Structure 1
């Protein structure tokens, strides 16, 4: 009988036995939490104690203060440099505007000076030549424009004071070559009506024939069929 009971306990068919702790599970979780909290507190204390021994806290704090001071200094320097840059840019723009204004004034003065020289030359040509009488050509100017046109200007005066009005004609005689052959042309063909009391400036633009090369321009003032004044200009 005992042998049978012993065999039943030792085999698979033996009855299951459950072992239960006498401590309830809420108390076990509480004890485990207390143990973990204590371990964490000990770890934090050990870490802080190690940092204090190594002097890491003071070094990091000092370096942080230095970095903040450096950042503040760099920010202030950047603001000052930006202000200086803006000031320099404003001065540069003002200087550029002043320079452009001076250049415009210089160009205007040059144009005025050129106009005054032209006017002076024009009025000098109006001064009568001693001993001269009647109608005279005091100035003849001509230039070829693009090989297709001729721009001209003639100044005619009466040297004598209180001279009667002159009524006549003005002719321009162009000489040169056309297609390599000698060429002459009178413009306008019948002459241009001319009336002069004291002085008269006449100008115009003539169209040239194709392949014509103007070498000389002659201005003639005629009274009827009589040539009263003439002047010739050679073109380069």
Structure 2
């Protein structure tokens, strides 16, 4: 029996035995705290020693102050450059506005000059020619945008105390279309026309495809009688 008890204690099937410390837990926590404090003190000492060896303690403040001054100088330079850029942008905007105003004035002057030339031609055409009777003093035509024709007719009656003219204006276009002779009357037919001294008529008509206008003819009709006619080549 003793041999069995001894073998059971010496083999794997022997009962487990727990070893417990006799120190109370407040002392164990105090020992851990002391160890942590010693480690923290050693770490702080190592950090301070390294900083002293690297010269940070001596020149760190001076370097920091120098860097702060450099940052302030760079900020001032940035603000100055930004102010210059804003001034340049304002000048460019003002210059562009002035150029736009000048361009608008040039366009207005060109339109006014064109209108003055038209009025000059109109009043020159009003100068009575030799002889009396109704006449077409100005017939103008030009092709615009490739397939449209702008035309203008000035009819006058230079006779004194002339009766009012009541008739029609007939406009005919001549040229080629696709290499063949071509003629076309004003769309809508002859236009009714009434005047005593003068009358200026103008308009725009569409041209058929591949049409090339070479001449324009205008006639003033009173009933079936032709009172005046004129042809202009383009």
Q: TM-score range by the shorter chain?
A: 0.5 to 0.7
* Structure 2 partner of 1:227: 226
CA shift, 1:161, in A, is 3.3
Specify whether residues 39 and 120 from structure 1 end up closer, same or farther in structure 2 by C-alpha distance, changes over 3 A only. closer
The answer to whether structure 1 residue 70 and structure 2 residue 70 are counterparts is: yes
Moved more, 204-213 or 53-62: 204-213
Gaps of 5+ in 1: 1-25
Matches within 5 A, 1:70-219: 70-129=70-129, 131-144=130-143, 150-177=149-176, 182-184=181-183, 191-205=190-204, 213-219=212-218
**Structure 1 stretch displaced more, 136-145 or 181-190:** 181-190
1:12-65 CA distance string (max 9 Å, x none): xxxxxxxxxxxxxx99x999x999989988997898688768855322222222
Range that drifts further, 48-57 or 35-44? 35-44
Between 1:88-97 and 1:64-73, the stretch displaced more is 88-97
Q: 1:225 to 1:38 in 2, by over 3 A?
A: closer
Aligned length: 211
Tell me if structure 1 keeps the 8 A contact 2:187–2:205.
Answer: no
Provide the TM-score with structure 2 as the length reference.
0.66
Report if the CA contact (8 A) 1:171-1:188 is conserved.
no
Cα deviation, residue 198, structure 1 = 0.7
In structure 2, the CA distance between the partners of 1:160 and 1:69, relative to structure 1 (3 Å rule), is same
Greater C-alpha Rg: 1
1:124 Cα offset (Å): 1.6
Q: Aligned in 2, Cα 1:86/1:136: closer, same or farther, shift over 3 Å?
A: same
Aligned 8 A contact 2:169 2:220 in 1: yes
- Structure 1 partner of 2:58: 58
